[in-house]
Amino acid sequence: MQLHFSPSMRSITISSSGSSSNNNGNGFVDLMKIKVAARHISYRTLFHTILILAFLLPFVFILTAVVTLEGVNKCSSFDCLGRRFGPRLLGRVDDSGRMVRDFYKILDEVNSMEIPDNLKLPDSFSQLVSEMKSNQYDARTFAIMLRAMMDKFEKDIRESKFAELMNKHFAASSIPKGIHCLSLRLTDEYSSNAHARKQLPSPELLPLLSDNSYYHFILSTDNILAASVVVTSTVQSSLKPEKIVFHIITDKKTYAGMHSWFALNPSSPAIVEVKGIHQFDWLTRENVPVLEAVENHNGIRNYYHGNHVAGANLSATTPRTFASKLQARSPKYISLLNHIRIYLPELFPNLDKVVFLDDDVVIQRDLSPLWEIDLEGQVNGAVETCRGEDEWVMSKRFKNYFNFSHPLIAKHLDPEECAWAYGMNIFDLRAWRKTDIRETYHYWLKENLKSNLTMWKLGTLPPALIAFKGHVHPIDPSWHLLGLGYQIKTSIENVEKAAVIHYNGQSKPWLQIGFEHLRPYWAKYVNYSNDFVRSCHILEP
């Protein structure tokens, strides 16, 4: 093709190459002349237009060829070009975006529909893919099968989690074979060995049991091994161990074994006294009628010893909530040993200030400065548990322990009031004797019994939170680190800095379910070379 412009630029001739020699023949005349009227369009504009067309036509040819090679030439060239390049030029998505939107629509439909119960499901994703290929599933069928599989797996995982929590609860509530053996062997030793029955402490030290210039610790437990760790860790961490007096309170069945252990394994230079509940004249039915009711009430016994799954709506309960409910149903919460701390002013009438310790704590620092803390007239020095870095452990307020839908609770308590910790408490017994804390404790226990345990479920802390209300002085959190028995993410750095670490929760360090990385802080105070410990096969972890 050739373009010929006249000298005056008044006409343009378009002809095929080589046609000028035979354009007068009888064949197809391929010579055209275009006369341009200057008054309708400028020659310059027409010239530029032709140049642009000459540039675009090869480009259009190339794009058409590309479309054809890619296999989309089932439509006309311009249609394919429009479908393929139009959306891109206009900033729209291609067909893949439309397919994704269609699939999202299918997923929304499947998510809101009810899956048939009799649907046969593959056991794995690879099996699902295989069946999809062989049965030619469409997108909707694939989505239904996938959702049904996920629902089934979630249900199985949930049931396994609840079963794990139940097994953990039973493990935490039982007595390990080695610890039971230790108690039996030491009890037998008490009956056959005069050294195991020797007076604790020796007669010349008896006056020191009521000497307020000494540091008096009180421990209430029926776990001999745990008691030995508390005493040993306290003595070894003390700067003045010769000024320590331990008052260990245990029940009647454990008394002989507990006495044998500390008689045969003295914690010199500290002084240790072991007393059974039956040896306190003050603990009569007249003085503790509520606790007798708690121990003998059939409904309460069934609640703590019965079937913990019966009547529980597991489908509407989270594993975390279920775990909390199981922990609240520990049988120890109806034991007099667990309530004994509310009677300390009467049981130790000659003491002014004491530190009460739970049996699942380890002492890592000298605690004598606790006696120097000014409680400002308050009764109970305790660590508050409503603020701190650990949101799992240090986020406890009254609403975490009480049922505020109960009118009596809602009337007298503030759900946002900060809770505090049992386990390591400084008690000013002189200030305590001027209060009605014990009577308040008894009153609320009775009310909870009357309401069928609908005010609270968790053991001794809730009534203590009420009874000590207005009598608590917060102490620095570094004195008492909680949660080592139910918080696997406990900071090791915080553990090593704390004066007292507390394995509160189900995962006690003497149990197989104890956290492996936290157990050594407790185990290092166990004398695994002791003959009784070895004979009961209590092994070092």
Q: What DSSP string describes 411-428?
A: HH--TTSBPB-SSEEEEE
Looking at residue 141, what is its pLDDT? 82
8 Å CB contact between 460 and 338: yes
Tokens matching residue 358: 């739970």
Looking at residue 312, what is its pLDDT? 56
R_g of the chain computed on alpha carbons:
42
Which of 29-38, 205-214, 304-313 is predicted with the least confidence, judged by mean pLDDT?
Answer: 29-38
Residue 33 pLDDT > 80, yes or no?
A: no
8 Å CB contact between 495 and 518: yes
Which of 55-69, 126-140, 160-174, 461-475 is predicted with the least confidence, judged by mean pLDDT?
Answer: 55-69
**pLDDT, tens digit (0-9, with 9 covering 90-100), for 307-343:** 555 455 556 567 666 666 666 566 666 678 888 999 9
Looking at residue 201, what is its pLDDT? 96
% of the chain exceeding 70 in pLDDT: 72
Task: Give which of 397, 423, 385, 420 is closest to 504, Cα–Cα.
Answer: 423
The one-letter code for the residue type at 38 is A
The mean of the pLDDT values for the chain is 82
Task: Give which of 127, 271, 259 is closest to 208, Cα–Cα.
Answer: 271
Q: Is 467 left (phi over 0), alpha (psi -120 to 50) or beta?
A: alpha
Strand-pairing partners, residue 13, are 4, 33
Q: Whole-prediction pTM value? A: 0.72
Query: For the chain, what is the largest distance between any 2 Cα atoms, rounded to a whole number of angstroms?
Result: 148
**pLDDT, tens digit (0-9, with 9 covering 90-100), for 416-452:** 999 999 999 999 999 999 999 999 999 998 898 888 8
**Using CA atoms, how far apart are residues 241 and 50, in angstroms rounded to an integer?**
107
Looking at residue 13, what is its pLDDT? 58
Tokens matching residue 344: 């300390």
**Using CA atoms, how far apart are residues 473 and 483, in angstroms rounded to an integer?**
21
Please give the torsion angle defined by the CA atoms of residues 91, 96, 102 and 105, in that order, rounded to the nearest 10 degrees: -80
Most confident listed range (159-173, 227-241, 383-397, 498-512)? 227-241
- Tally helices (H) and strands (E) across the chain: 20, 13
239 phi and psi angles, rounded to 5 deg? -85, -20
Work out the pLDDT band at 503, boundaries 50, 70, 90. very high
Residue 488 pLDDT > 70, yes or no?
A: yes
